[in-house]
Structure formats: C-alpha cells, structure tokens
Structure 1
Amino acid sequence: MTESDTVVHQPKGAETTNPENGHGVPTLVTSHEVNPVLERDAQTKGTWTAYVKTKQFWIAMLLGQILAICITSTNTLSQLLSMEGTSIPAFQTFFNYVLLNIVYTGYTFYKLGFKGWAKMCLKDGWRFFILAFIDVEGNYFIVLAYRYTTILSAQLINFWAIVVVVILSFLFLRVRYRWTQIAGILLCIGGVGVLFGSDHLTGYNQFPASNAVKGDLFALLGASLYGLSNTFEEFLVSEQPLYVVVGQLGFWGMFINGVQAGIFDRSSFRSATWNAAVGGYLTGYTLILSLFYSLAPILFRLTSAAFFNISLLTGNFWGVAIGVKVFHLKIHWMYPIAFVLILVGQVIYFLRQSSLAEQKKPWLGEDQHKGVAGIGTAKRRVERPEAIV
C-alpha cells in the first residue's frame, strides 16, 4: 500500500484526532483490512478506460468472438440440415443436453457425491428446471425458424434478445446502465444495420424464404426466450458453481427436450433425410453447441448477459464469412466496416466502468459475499487478487 493508503490500527472504539477536519474533533476509528481489489474498484468508479486497460477486458472480448463463431457455426449447420431436408428442431439439440449432462453432472457427482447432488436438486432443482425449459424452447423455435426463413433474417431478429436482457436486468437484477453502455449497444446495432443495409442495396446474399413471416415470428419468439434464459443463467452462475448450473441445465434439458422431440418431431423424423452428411452436421452441431454452453457462463460472470448478446452480433459478419464458402455468399466492402463498428461499440460499452466493471454483480452485495468464488467471478478476484479470471 502507498503511504496515503496506510490504515491506523487502534483498539476498537478508541478516539483519535482526524487531521483532515482541521478542528481536532474526536472521531472513531475501527481497524479493518481493505481488500485491494475492492479498493481499486471503488477508486476507479466513473473513470475512463479503467476496465479497458485490464486483462479481463481483453479476455472478455476474445471469449465473446469465440462464442459468436460458435453460434454462427451452429446456425450454419442448422441451415445445411434444413437444405438436406432434415428439419427436426427438438431432436437436433437433444444430444447437446445429453453430452452436457454426462460431462457436468458426472463432475457434480464427483464434487458433491450422490447425496449432495440429490439434496441440491431438492433445494434448487425447480430453478434449474425453469432455466432448462426456457432454454429448450428457445433452441426449438430458433431451429424451427430456419425451416421457413433465411439465416440472415433470423440473425437480424436476435436484436430483440438484447432488448429483453436489458429490460429484465434493469427490473429484476438491479443493473443500472451508464450512457456509455447504451451508446455502445446502439453502435453495435448500427454496425449490424450497416451490414444488412449493404445487402439490401446491393442485392447480395438475398435468398427466398419458404414462409418469411412465419419464420421471422418463430425467430422473434426464440430470441425472447434466449434473452430470458441468458438473464436467468447470469443470475444462477453468479451464485452457484458453473458445473452445477451447466450440469443441471443438461440434466433437465435432456428430459424436456426428449419429451418434446417425441411429441413434435415424430413425423419430421420419419420424413427426414438420413445420410453421412446429415450425421456429420448433427455431430458438429452437438460438439460446437456444447462448447458454446460451456464457455457462455464464464462470459456471464466476466461481463453480463447484455455484453454476451452484443458480442454475438459479430456472428452476422462471421456468418457471411463462413457463407462465402458454404452458401456462396458475397462479402461487400461495407462488411469489414460493420464488423469494426461492432467491436468499437463493445469497447465504448466498457469505456467508463470501474476495474471490476460488470464482474461485480449488484445482487451479490458490495463485497460479493452472496456469490460463488468460481472462475470469472468478482469474488474469486476479491479472495485471490492475483487471479486473472
């Protein structure tokens, strides 16, 4: 600590003269240790570029782009499956939940034991069931949308997920947004507007949809459910170990998704095309989506559901970049400009935040004592100041 940070330790309740007041008025000093992470966070509130200069910011930016590429890849594989004549929206995501359940519930058994796992399910299982139900339905309607509309149209409607997240976070999680955050979100949306505007003006990447209105409505419903599940998952992973949340999501999602597939996908399953290409697409879809589900909670802890969603906006650029090879799309000269605008918007989003920024969750208390000290959490950094994530 610097000289100005030195704390004078005296017996509890002892009187001392405060040299700052200039009047020699006796004041009470209680001894306490000041946590360096919280102290630095308090000192940098409202300052410019405090968080942008941290390692956590760059990790969050990189992780956001990895997730954007993941979700773009799954969207591309959904489109390829639909083009093959295989549209099974519930069954398509079933194996993702199975894989998540095997990996993370298995690890939960190792950490908690079967009795500990059962006790956790009895206490909090209902919360995870709700999360899984919302997530399953979000996946179902987004995948269903690709049966009727185009990949670019479905991605454009995902803007609505950002609106849902911001409203829910403000109302229920006590998140208060700075004007720089709103400006950053609007610039990100503007960047994607440039991307889609260039397509409209040039006629690039315009493909007919079988039922655009129906598909867009499904995509809008899916985006709303995604926004709800993202906000709820951010809340849960801040309070619970990551392996518990993802394991429970896989456990309950497997049953909900399995039942839904059995009810709604039976006719589609029988009429679907089954070949080596479809098998490869489903395998790739499952592995990439499972990676997405494993990394997303870390970004929720490092930042927020709002930043998570604006990070995914670059997926529109990555979607066209992948589509150049897969769907023979064309990249207009305005696409790189749109991509840069989105990245600049993400920087502006964090431009005037403290050193902990959104890692410090308002619902966990000033010292984050209500949270879990897991990877990516502020509590982990409070307890271990040397920790990066």
Structure 2
Amino acid sequence: MERKEAWRLALVLFLGQLVSFFIAIASFTSSLIAELGTDTPLTQSWFTYLSLSLVYGAVFLFRGQRLMVPWYWYLALAIVDVQGNYLIVKAYQYTSITSVTLLDCWTIPWVIILTWIALGTRYSPWQFVGAAVCVLGLGLVLLSDVGVSGGGGSKPIIGDTLVIAGTVCYAFSNVGEERPSRVIGNARDIWGASWYLQATNYVCFAITGFPNMLSAVLERKDLESVKWSATMICLFGGFAAATFLFYTVVPFVMKMSGATLFNLSLLTSDMWAVAIRVFFYHDQVDWLYYLAFGLVAIGLIIYSVKENNTANGGDPEALQYERIPQESSAVNGQHETCSDTNTERA
C-alpha cells in the first residue's frame, strides 16, 4: 500500500470514528431525556434541522449554489431521514439503549442489499469477513452490557419494531446520500459532497416545519409537562450539537468510503457511549470492551483495505452506476461554469 493510500485509509477510519462518537453523544443525551420522562422526538429532531438550516442553508443561498440533482431527490431523501430520526428517538421511550444499539445493526444488511441493487456495488469475500468481525465486536459489547444498561423498557416489542423500521429509513437515506455524492465529488472535489447534504438538510428543515406545527398539537401536553431546568436545556442543546456535527462530517465519509463502511464505523458508538458513561458516572469498564473495540478496529481495517483493492484492481464496470435524471446536465453545467471562470481569469 502506497503512503498516500495509507494516509487516506487512516483519514477514512478517523472520520468514521468521529461520526460514531457524535452519534454516541446523541444516543446518550436521548436516553437521558427519556429517563427524565420527556417524550418529544419531533421537537428534538426539529432543533437539529433548524441548526443545520441556519448554518448551511444560509451559506448555500449566499453562495448561489446550484442544485446538482433534481429537487425531488432531496425531498425523498429528506423525508426518509426525518422519519428515521423520529422512529429511533421515539424508540428510547419503549426499549433500552442496549436494544436500540443491537437492532440498529440491521442498517448494515439493508445498506449492503441496497448498494448492491441501486449502485451495482460488488463486495469481496474479505469485505464480508471484515463486516462480520465488526458485528462480532459489537456482540461482545452487548454481552458485557447485559444487566448494566438497566431494564428492557416499558414496551420492548414496540420499541424494537420502531428501531427496525428506523434502520430501513436510515439505509435508504445512506444509500441515497452516497449515490449523488460520487458524481458531485467528481465534479467539484470532496468538498462538493458536503454541499449535497447541506442542501438536503435545508429541505429537511422545510419538511420538519410541518410536523413541528403538528407537534404543537401532538406533543403539546408533553412540552407543557417538561421541566425546563438547566439540565434539560443542556441535554436538548447537546443532542442538537452532536447531530449537527454528525451531519456535517457524514458526507465526507460517504464520498471517501461509502454507506457500508459508514455504518460499520457506527458500530463503535456503543463503545464511545461506555467511555462517556465512565467519564460522567465513573463506571467500571469490563475487559470485553477493550477486546470488542479491537475486533471492530480490525474488521474496519480488513473491510477498508479490501475495498481499496477492489476499487483499484477490480472491474471498472462493476463500480459504475446509472446517473439519476438531471445529474449529467448538472455536472456538465458545473464543468462549463468552471471553464468559463478560468477563461475569464486568463
């Protein structure tokens, strides 16, 4: 492996762990909010999209950025993303954080199936081995976590069903982000991928605007019963900040590695949650956590190395996919704009 490829691999793994850390903070704050008796998933998600829209929506409009894929693609992706967040946050009211973490792994097989069908991605046997090692590592975490996370929730069947439905939404969202980010990245380097998700988040806010008007009715009693202490405000703010940073880093991971490695990286979120728990509550860490983290790290490296080998030495046609409508014209338009700008400067 060349030095450049090694640095790229290290960067991908680092960014993957960064998003995993952010999702761990979001899960931790959501579980604490649920433990305090607050059930306002729409309001929680709304603050996330509000912060994303205020920052990236303003920049997007200020720079006069052009949408590089059709508007309805953003709309569809925003709908499934909003729905996925709602279902997962709602699940914390009915089941334990351990169950949510375990069932959230269902995103991985959904993503593998969807990337195989929609993107034409072909996985090598070693990539499946790497994914299996990652899941095995998470299994050790959950084995160690039995009896520690406390309780199975008030209605575990309902909560588990919500999580599984949420993973389907997340899978469609992840694959939907990966597909156009490839074209955008080719048109305007890796930073172009971030503009795609930023525009999507702007649409997400528009979509959640209507549900949150409904939340004045659906969650009115819950909001009225919330005791807005400094702790509660910090938890809502922490959730919004963590998810804001999560959505900011995600497009870079999607562009550099894809949806499957992204979801495999999220398997360490439970381990980061343990680190957070140790920091706040000074809990004892079981030795299985260290072994589990090592297994997930090994699995990610196996998957990433074989992914690079497949991309570099595999059949180029296997890595191609059909562009969605208007992608080609949008990308060509960007190239023409860049050419005109360079001509004027010359």
Say whether 1:253 aligns with 2:208.
no
5+ residue gaps, structure 2, are: 185-191, 333-346
User: Partners of 1:51 and 1:136 in 2: how far apart?
Assistant: 40
Larger Rg belongs to:
1
What's the CA shift for 1:153? 1.2
Say whether 1:266 aligns with 2:220.
yes
**Which whole-Å deviations, capped at 9, do the CAs of 1:270-302 have from their partners, x for residues lacking one?**
232322111111112111211110100000000
What's the CA shift for 1:54? 2.0
Say whether 1:211 aligns with 2:155.
yes
User: Partners of 1:169 and 1:317 in 2: how far apart?
Assistant: 27
Partner in structure 1 of residue 87 of structure 2: 141
For the 8 Å contact 2:96–2:149, the answer to whether it is kept is no
For the 8 Å contact 2:24–2:272, the answer to whether it is kept is yes
User: Partners of 2:143 and 2:133 in 1: how far apart?
Assistant: 15
Of the three residues 346, 350, 356, the one matched with 2:300 is 346
The 1:197–1:50 alpha-carbon spacing in structure 2 relative to 1, beyond 3 Å, is farther
User: Partners of 1:328 and 1:149 in 2: how far apart?
Assistant: 24
Normalised by the length of structure 2, the TM-score is: 0.83
Give the match's secondary structure for 1:131: helix
User: Partners of 1:273 and 1:165 in 2: how far apart?
Assistant: 39
Of the three residues 336, 339, 342, the one matched with 2:290 is 336
User: Partners of 2:169 and 2:3 in 1: how far apart?
Assistant: 30
Choose between structure 1 and 2 for higher RCO, CA contacts under 8 A separated by at least 6 residues. Answer: 2
Say whether 1:244 aligns with 2:202.
no
The 1:82–1:310 alpha-carbon spacing in structure 2 relative to 1, beyond 3 Å, is same
For the 8 Å contact 1:73–1:319, the answer to whether it is kept is yes
User: Partners of 2:94 and 2:35 in 1: how far apart?
Assistant: 11
**Which whole-Å deviations, capped at 9, do the CAs of 1:86-115 have from their partners, x for residues lacking one?**
2210110112212211222222223326xx
For the 8 Å contact 2:97–2:149, the answer to whether it is kept is no
The 1:353–1:307 alpha-carbon spacing in structure 2 relative to 1, beyond 3 Å, is closer
Of the three residues 27, 35, 48, the one matched with 1:75 is 27
What's the CA shift for 1:251? 1.9
> Which sits farther off after the overlay, 79-88 or 66-75?
79-88
What's the CA shift for 1:146? 0.7
Give the match's secondary structure for 2:265: helix
Say whether 1:294 aligns with 2:234.
no
AA partner of residue 144 (structure 2): S
User: Partners of 1:225 and 1:238 in 2: how far apart?
Assistant: 21
What's the CA shift for 1:55? 1.0
Of the three residues 261, 286, 305, the one matched with 1:307 is 261
Say whether 1:183 aligns with 2:129.
yes
5+ residue gaps, structure 1, are: 1-48, 374-389
What's the CA shift for 1:265? 2.4
**Which whole-Å deviations, capped at 9, do the CAs of 1:196-223 have from their partners, x for residues lacking one?**
12334xx333334111111111111111
Partner in structure 1 of residue 143 of structure 2: 197
For the 8 Å contact 2:84–2:166, the answer to whether it is kept is yes
Structure richer in helix, relative to its length: 2
Aligned length: 313
Of the three residues 151, 158, 175, the one matched with 1:231 is 175
User: Partners of 1:273 and 1:239 in 2: how far apart?
Assistant: 47
AA partner of residue 117 (structure 2): L
User: Partners of 1:198 and 1:288 in 2: how far apart?
Assistant: 26
